């Protein structure tokens, strides 16, 4: 799970006010490491209207570094005035704005995937959205989409964690550390 709060070094500095001067390089390195994890990985984008909501192509390029399993796009939640931040309610996007942002992000990811290359980006699609949370989920088609038997030509998403199966596999790994499992 990596929080991706900005898509340029300048906006990362403005949004996160990082402690480390090399925060941008650390972010890119962290995302690149996700590709080799062998388990579910998530990039979480928090959309702050007026701060980072117009940098969609940059977000797509960052996600492409990690081939993340899931991309969660969430609108920032305003929690009241704070001396540590100058955010206000006008920075909180509406759900339809987050959906629109995510659809454009998906177009940008598709454009990168179509470029191909030595390590092509997997296909993503809109898996679900939750209006009350002001969030939208993109998921890798190769990991989470299956044909919907009730609707030929449509996909069904398997993004929920099967906790019983996870516990079973984790116990098997604890008994035999050579046993590997992943998505």
* Two structure tokens written together for 117: 């290359």
Indicate whether 83 pLDDT > 70.
no
DSSP assignment of 21-80, as one string? TTHHHHHHHHHHHHTT-SS--EEEEEE-TTTTTT-HHHHHHHHHHHT-SEEEEEEPPP--
Cα separation, 47 vs 134, in Å, equals 10
Q: At what angle do helices 9-16 and 23-34 cross, to 10 degrees?
A: 100
Report the relative pairing of strands 2-4 and 42-47 from DSSP bridges.
parallel
Indicate whether 183 pLDDT > 70.
no
Label residue 62 by pLDDT band (50, 70, 90): very high
CA distances from 162 to 24, 70, 166 (A): 35, 16, 6
Q: What is the three-state SS of 118-163?
A: CCCCCCEEEEEEECCCCEEEEEEHHHHEEECCCCCCCEEECCCCCH
For the stretch 122-168, pLDDT in tens is 999 999 999 999 999 999 999 999 998 899 888 899 888 788 888 99
pLDDT, position 100: 95
Indicate whether 80 pLDDT > 80.
no
In the beta sheet, which residues pair with residue 157?
145
């Amino acid at each position: 799970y990596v929080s991706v709060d900005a898509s340029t070094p300048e906006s990362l500095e403005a949004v996160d006010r990082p402690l480390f001067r090399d925060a941008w390089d650390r972010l890119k390195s962290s995302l690149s490491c996700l590709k080799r994890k062998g388990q579910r990985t998530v990039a979480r984008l928090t959309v702050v209207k007026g701060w980072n909501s117009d940098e969609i192509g940059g977000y797509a390029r960052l996600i492409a570094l990690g081939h993340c399993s899931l991309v969660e796009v969430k609108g920032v939640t305003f929690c009241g005035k704070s001396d540590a931040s100058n955010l206000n309610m006008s920075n909180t996007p509406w759900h339809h704005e987050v959906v629109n942002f995510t659809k454009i992000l998906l177009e940008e990811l598709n454009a990168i995937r179509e470029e191909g290359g030595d390590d092509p980006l997997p296909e993503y699609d809109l898996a679900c959205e939750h209006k009350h949370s002001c969030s939208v989920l993109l998921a890798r088609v190769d990991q989470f989409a299956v044909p919907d038997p009730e609707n030929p030509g449509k996909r069904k998403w398997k993004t929920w964690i099967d906790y019983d199966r996870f516990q079973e596999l984790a116990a098997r790994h604890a008994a035999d550390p050579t046993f590997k499992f992943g998505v």
